[in-house]
Amino acid sequence: MTPLVAVVSSPRARLFTCFLRLGAQQAGPLQLHTDTGLAAKNHYEVLVLGGGSGGITMASRMKRRVGAENVAIVEPSERHFYQPIWTLVGAGAKQLSSSGRPTASVIPSGVEWVKARVVELNPDKNCIRTDNGKEISYRYLIIALGIQLDYEKIKGLPEGFAYPKIGSNYSVNTVEKTWKALQDFKEGNAIFTFPNTPIKCAGAPQKIMYLSEAYFRKTGNRPKANIIFNTALGAIFGVKKYADALLEIIQDRNLTVNYKQNLIEVRADKQEAVFENLDKPGETQVISYEMLHVTPPMSSPDVLKTSPVADAAGWVDVDKETLQHKKYPNVFGIGDCTNLPTSKTAAAVAAQSGILDKTISLVMKNETSVKKYDGYTSCPLVTAYNRVILAEFDYNGQPLETFPFDQSKERLSMYLMKADMMPYLYWNMMLRGYWGGPAFLRKVFHLGMS
């Protein structure tokens, strides 16, 4: 697959890249982890469940706290993916191969990799059980199991992805189908959906809409395209400042947005999508499509739903300021699997990792944590192949912007950050435990400003 657009360079981009390279050099060279857990122990000082962004990042931080030999990660997957880039993969601007690396290459050197799936948590006995029957005990447990994609909750999926004209940027198996559907589009309805559940990267369902509209303009198909965003939500975005900016773009580009519309069925053989009106339960509408991008319903991983560590909705029940479990003081959560009332993004995980690192270090000393997580999260809203609105906000839905300019404006510099600098930052600093979010940069950039 050939990328649609080439990477744009600029003096600012080169300057920031130099800064990141310097940080990565200070962090030390990347070391490959090759031990797959054949001689795994039965007890660890720190046990990390999940080898995604939160799990790898916290394992790196815990390695420095207690030593690599005292840390283990339980993760079944052979490959680790930087998923935020899949928006650009689905639009043909990046290649899928650039998003993944072997899991062995990102697990911190010396940390044990237990290549298995967690099937039971027993926090009352400080142990977990894996799908191969192994029981592992711990002194401290970090739960970073991410979020579960529930395509099967939409009638006709996932088997519908075997047909053309349909894709989803949320799965490694379907993201390239989005690009194929985009390329094959001739005329008709291009439909983009948002489900009636919590999801990760809540801006992604509309990012691909803006990129598709730009692609249709480039290929001359825009006059023949009716672009529809059917969302189960009641607003385009949860923070007013950025919602206002997005609504202007939607009006300027003649995009149709229908609220409280939830995708409940896909008839891929007929190229039809069925939506339920959430304001009038039971009332449905069938819309034919020439292109359909599906954002699946999502939920807490099944292993957590019935676990003692979960709240009533199935999410890991943690204190929103310290990330320590509300019932079990030696259990902690990070990222998408928690009930933290903020958007589930990689940027949120980065900010949480610094707080959680401090929380655990103090718990280990029988001290009380004083550093509080403010809910910081970020969503680079890609609005074109060279423009991004960089949304940053806190628990209260208030903008918490890093740069000393209005980030609700579409900017090339923010696109470069999204497309090229953030992946570099992720692989070379965050996963190594040296990136806890941009709070320090925010202080530097806003010095002397009220």
Q: Among this protein's residues, is 337 annotated catalytic?
A: no
Helix/strand/coil for 445: helix
> What are the backbone angles phi and psi of residue 209, rounded to the nearest 5°?
-65, -50
Pull the structure tokens for residue 224. 């023949």
Structure-token pair, residue 157: 């999926």
Distances (CA, A) of 358 to 316, 321, 392: 19, 12, 23
Give me the residue label for tokens 């009641």: 234
Among residues 210, 190, 214, which one has the least CA distance to residue 292? 190
| d(C-alpha 183, C-alpha 177), whole Å | 10
> What are the residues whose beta carbons fall under 8 Å from the beta carbon of 441, sequence distance 6 or more?
402
Q: In whole angstroms, give the CA distance from residue 17 to residue 8.
A: 13
The CA distances from residue 435 to 30, 172, 271, 308, 432, in Å, are 15, 26, 44, 31, 8
Which secondary structure element, helix H or strand E, spans residue 389, and what is its range?
strand 387-393
The DSSP bridge partners found for residue 189 are: 226
Q: Label residue 107 left, alpha or beta by phi (over 0 means left) and psi (-120 to 50 means alpha).
A: beta
Contact 72, 40 (CB under 8 A): yes
Euclidean distance between CA atoms 426 and 250, whole angstroms: 31
Three-state secondary-structure class, residue 282: coil
Distance CA 170, CA 172 (A): 7
Eight-class DSSP state of 237: -
* Six-digit token string for 60: 């790196």
Distance CA 271, CA 291 (A): 8
Q: How many residues does the chain have?
A: 450
- Residue ranges of alpha helices (H) inside 125-239 are 175-184, 204-219
8 Å CB contact between 79 and 101: yes
Q: CA–CA separation, 174 vs 266, rounded Å?
A: 15
CA-based R_g, the chain, Å = 22
Of the candidates 18, 127, 337, 379, the residue annotated as catalytic is: 379
**Two tokens, residue 181:** 């559907």
- Catalytic residue list: 201, 379
